[in-house]
């Protein structure tokens, strides 16, 4: 029994040391620059079609980090698809790189409310995964965020963290990040649904593509989505926007 316990302790120490090394390497890794930010926004569709003000809130992915042109950002792709269904869409993108859900609540939600949107999409919490925001705070902020946005009469759709098993990271950090990401995404979605929002299981719908074809899915830092990844995100999100608008 003593030998078994010593072996178990040694294995645990080795695992902790390995994870620590992987975290240091991940922190030292060069990721894509967030400045200058892409200019995402504008109008889409015919001016004779019914108007729809569409606001997108979130982190670096909402800001299009990972692609070099705004037309490849998922916010733009969603606006184009909404317009293709006979709407004159005004797209407003409020995403800021590095934002956590608390930042969206404090900084982006007031701006969005002032714009009086008809439809809001929020993609958030990857940074909450990385910075270990408590699940209780994530859940509470998600609920509060949706409640405030819905005071405008807007339809609100929310997605939590994507699959966090980024190609940029090695095992066991990759799997640990995936586990933590699923927990945070579940908390985001639980809070959002409780406040009346539609939710998108983004990790579930797009994770297999990122794992199967990382060269197509990721940007050049193997962390942020590239053009292919954002197309996959738009494919996952758009049906929920239409369903929510129909309701």
- Kindly provide the residue ranges of all beta strands, DSSP E only, lying in the chain, ordered along the sequence: 41-44, 51-58, 88-93, 119-123, 155-159, 198-200
Q: Is there a contact between 105 and 145 (Cβ–Cβ < 8 Å)?
A: yes
Residues of the chain above pLDDT 70, percent = 86
For residues 23-42, give the mean pLDDT. Answer: 65
Structure tokens at 1: 């029994």
Asked if residue 142 lies in contact with residue 196, where contact means CB atoms within 8 angstroms, the answer is: no
pLDDT at 28: 47
Tens of pLDDT along 146-189? 999 999 999 999 999 999 999 988 899 999 999 999 999 999 99
Helix 227-246 / helix 202-212 crossing angle, nearest 10 deg: 160
Among the ranges given (20-24, 181-185, 195-199), the one the predictor scored with the smallest mean pLDDT: 20-24
213-230: burial string, b at 16+ Cβ within 10 Å, e else: ebeebbbebbbbbbbbbb
Q: List the 198-200 sheet strands across, edge first.
A: 41-44, 88-93, 51-58, 119-123, 155-159, 198-200
Give residue limits of the domains in the chain.
40-246
CA dihedral over 21, 178, 229, 146, signed as positive or negative? negative
pLDDT band with cut points at 50, 70 and 90 for residue 36: confident
Strand partners, 158: 122, 199
pLDDT confidence band for 21 (50 / 70 / 90): very low
For residue 15, pLDDT over 70 is answered with no
Q: Catalytic: 60?
A: yes
- The per-residue pLDDT for 164 is 96
Query: Is 175 tagged catalytic?
Result: no
Could you read off the pLDDT of 51-64 as tens digits, one per residue?
999 999 999 999 99
The yes-or-no answer on residue 224 being catalytic is: yes
CA distance 188 to 205: 16
Note the pLDDT of residue 37: 80
Asked if the 40-246 domain carries CATH number 3.40.50.10860, the reply is: no
Residue 1: the pLDDT is: 59
Residue in this structure with the two tokens 């894509």, named with its chain if needed: 32
What is the reported pTM?
Answer: 0.88
Out of 59, 141, 142, 224, pick the active-site residue. 224
Contacts of 61 (CB under 8 A, 6+ apart): 74, 95, 123, 126, 162, 224, 225, 230, 233
Catalytic residue among 60, 97, 142, 143: 60
Rounded to the nearest 5°, which phi and psi values hold at 69? -130, 140
The pLDDT score that the predictor gives to residue 34 is 65
185, 150 contact by CB (below 8 A): no
Q: In whole numbers, what is the pLDDT of the chain averaged over residues?
A: 89
Q: Check if the beta carbon of residue 184 is closer than 8 Å to that of residue 138.
A: yes
Cα 236 to Cα 240: distance, rounded to the nearest angstrom: 8
Q: How far is CA 97 from the centre of its chain?
A: 11
Q: Kindly list the distances between the CA atom of residue 213 and the CA atoms of 76, 168, 216, in Å, as whole numbers in the listed order.
A: 23, 14, 6
pLDDT > 70? residue 32: no
Does the pLDDT at position 115 exceed 60? yes
> Where do we find the tokens 């995402």?
40
- pLDDT, residue 170, reads 84
Which is the catalytic residue, given 49, 144, 221, 235?
221
Helix H or strand E segment including 92 = strand 88-93
What is the average pLDDT across 186-204?
98
At 201, list the tokens: 């299981």
């Amino acid at each position: 029994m003593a030998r078994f316990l010593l072996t178990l302790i040694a294995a645990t120490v080795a695992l902790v040391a390995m994870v620590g090394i992987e975290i240091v390497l991940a922190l030292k890794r060069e990721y894509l620059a967030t400045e200058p930010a892409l200019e995402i926004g504008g109008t889409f569709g015919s001016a004779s079609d019914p108007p729809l003000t569409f606001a997108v809130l979130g982190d670096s992915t909402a800001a299009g980090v990972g692609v070099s042109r705004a037309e490849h950002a998922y916010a733009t792709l969603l606006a184009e698809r909404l317009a293709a269904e006979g709407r004159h869409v005004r797209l407003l993108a409020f995403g800021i790189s590095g934002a956590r859900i608390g930042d969206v609540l404090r900084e982006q939600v007031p701006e969005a409310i002032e714009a009086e949107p008809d439809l809001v999409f929020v993609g958030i919490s990857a940074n909450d995964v990385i910075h270990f925001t408590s699940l209780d705070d994530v859940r509470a902020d998600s609920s509060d965020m949706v409640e405030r946005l819905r005071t405008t009469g807007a339809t609100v759709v929310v997605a939590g963290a994507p699959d966090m098993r980024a190609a940029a990271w090695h095992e066991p950090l990759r799997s640990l990040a995936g586990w933590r990401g699923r927990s945070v995404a579940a908390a985001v979605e639980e809070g959002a649904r409780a406040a009346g929002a539609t939710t998108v299981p983004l990790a579930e719908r797009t994770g297999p593509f990122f794992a199967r074809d990382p060269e197509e899915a990721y940007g050049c830092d193997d962390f942020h989505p590239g053009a292919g990844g954002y197309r996959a995100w738009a494919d996952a999100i758009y049906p929920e926007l239409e369903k929510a608008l129909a309701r």
